[in-house]
Amino acid sequence: MSLVTSTEMFKKAYEGGYAVGAFNVNNMEIVQGITEAAMQERAPLILQVSAGARKYAKHAYLMKLVEAAIEDTGLDICLHLDHGADFEVCRSCIDGGFTSVMIDGSHLPFEENVALTRQVVDYAHGKGVVVEGELGRLAGVEDEVNVAEGDSSYTDPAQVEDFVTRTGVDSLAIAIGTSHGAYKFKPGQNPKLRFDILEEIGRRLPGFPIVLHGASSVMQEYVEIVNAHGGKMPGAIGIPEDMLRRAAEMAVCKINIDSDLRLAMTATIRRHMAEHPDEFDPRKYLSPARDAIRSVVAHKMKHVLGCSGRA
Ligand code: G3H
Ligand code: 13P
Ligand code: ZN
């Protein structure tokens, strides 16, 4: 029961044909909902923190929340920086106790991405921290991550061996058609992922852990609850769960999920407020919101990631 790196988790996931869930955290209820699910499912777990989450909740609070969850649940947890934008934010998280960081140089020209990633790897490895890099660009919008569809590009399999060898990264995020946020495909459009690219990357990097960002399935039951209670999310569409399952059976060892948790939490609070218009005790609506997060995460672990019982 401690903070761990993802090294062992990924080794077992690769061999076992499943993926570890990396869930974004911002506050106590989200941390509790996720960790209760991991305990219930006896699943390996990565909790990840974006720059926006660090700004919102502050580094020290997030550290203490994760430490409290470890103490409370007895889980081993990998604490990861999501979408580190530069060397300084990576260094700050490494020095501040994270066990894993992502340096997201995916918007840079190849050689600049290599140089920046190598700089972070050298520092991180010196402190026993692992590093995720990214090649290729996902579309989509979230707080501090905003890429227009026209600026996105699939990962070029011909570049991955060179990138991994020269940077020394421990895992690699790739772009095969997933995207950030709740609007991943247009209504009427057939969701599609480039499994041919994933397969080729798996062939070129045998045994090496691949990461999938933008992997929420945007669960329609929650979209409907939002839309039935004053929300307006028509056309919110995610990655079909069977596609994520297929990726998890291939080289993908880490699957990032944030939007599905936001959606479950927001839908549950909207419904509670609509049903209890006189409510003003936050505990009364945050408790069912936390339960919804637990149930979504348990569902993902059991039916999508395949990591239940693997802790
Ligand atoms: O990929 C980005 C994560 O979902 C975090 O989003 O920057 O809005 O916290 P955020
Ligand atoms: P979603 O927006 O699909 O949940 O993706 C989250 C993510 O990739 C975090 O890095
Ligand atoms: Zn992401």
Per-residue pLDDT of the chain (311 residues; tens, 9 = 90+): 899 999 999 999 999 999 999 999 999 999 999 999 999 999 999 999 999 999 999 999 999 999 999 999 999 999 999 999 999 999 999 999 999 999 999 999 999 999 999 999 999 999 999 999 999 998 765 555 666 766 679 999 999 999 999 999 999 999 999 999 999 999 999 999 999 999 999 999 999 999 999 999 999 999 999 999 999 999 999 999 999 999 999 999 999 999 999 999 999 999 999 999 999 999 999 999 999 999 999 999 999 999 999 99
CA distances from 121 to 4, 155, 221, 306 (A): 17, 21, 41, 29
Contact status, residue 176 vs residue 198, Cβ threshold 8 Å? yes
User: What span, in angstroms and rounded, lies between the C-alpha atoms of 71 and 66?
Assistant: 9
If phi > 0 it is left, if psi is from -120 to 50 it is alpha, else beta; for residue 207 that is left
Is-catalytic flag, 278? Answer: no
With a 6 A CB cut-off, is 145 part of the ligand 1 pocket? yes
Closest residue (by CA) to atom 8 of ligand 1?
A: 143
Which numbered atom of ligand 2 lies nearest the CA of 215?
3
Catalytic-labelled residue, pool 76, 82, 104, 260: 82
User: What span, in angstroms and rounded, lies between the C-alpha atoms of 32 and 291?
Assistant: 9
Instruction: Decide: helix, strand or coil at residue 197.
Output: helix
Residue of 46, 102, 180, 255 to mutate, ligand 1, most atoms within 8 A of C-beta? 180
DSSP H helices, the chain, are 7-16, 28-41, 51-57, 59-73, 87-95, 110-126, 157-167, 195-204, 220-228, 241-249, 259-275, 282-299
User: What span, in angstroms and rounded, lies between the C-alpha atoms of 210 and 214?
Assistant: 13
Question: Quick one: pLDDT at residue 138?
Answer: 87
Q: Which two tokens stand for residue 311?
A: 């802790």
Question: Quick one: pLDDT at residue 142?
Answer: 55
Question: Quick one: pLDDT at residue 139?
Answer: 72
In sequence order, the β-bridge partners of residue 256 are 22
CA distances from 282 to 86, 94, 162, 173 (A): 36, 34, 51, 37
Q: Which two tokens stand for residue 218?
A: 């945007």
Question: Quick one: pLDDT at residue 1?
Answer: 83
Domains recognised in the chain with CATH numbers: 7-305 (3.20.20.70)
Contact status, residue 178 vs residue 184, Cβ threshold 8 Å? yes
Instruction: Decide: helix, strand or coil at residue 161.
Output: helix
Give residue 257 CA to ligand 1 midpoint distance, Å.
10
User: What span, in angstroms and rounded, lies between the C-alpha atoms of 128 and 148?
Assistant: 35
CA distances from 202 to 38, 160, 195, 253 (A): 28, 10, 10, 11
User: What span, in angstroms and rounded, lies between the C-alpha atoms of 184 and 304?
Assistant: 18
Which residues, chain by chain, have CB under 5 Å from ion ligand 3? 213
With a 6 A CB cut-off, is 52 part of the ligand 1 pocket? yes
With a 6 A CB cut-off, is 260 part of the ligand 1 pocket? no
DSSP 149: G
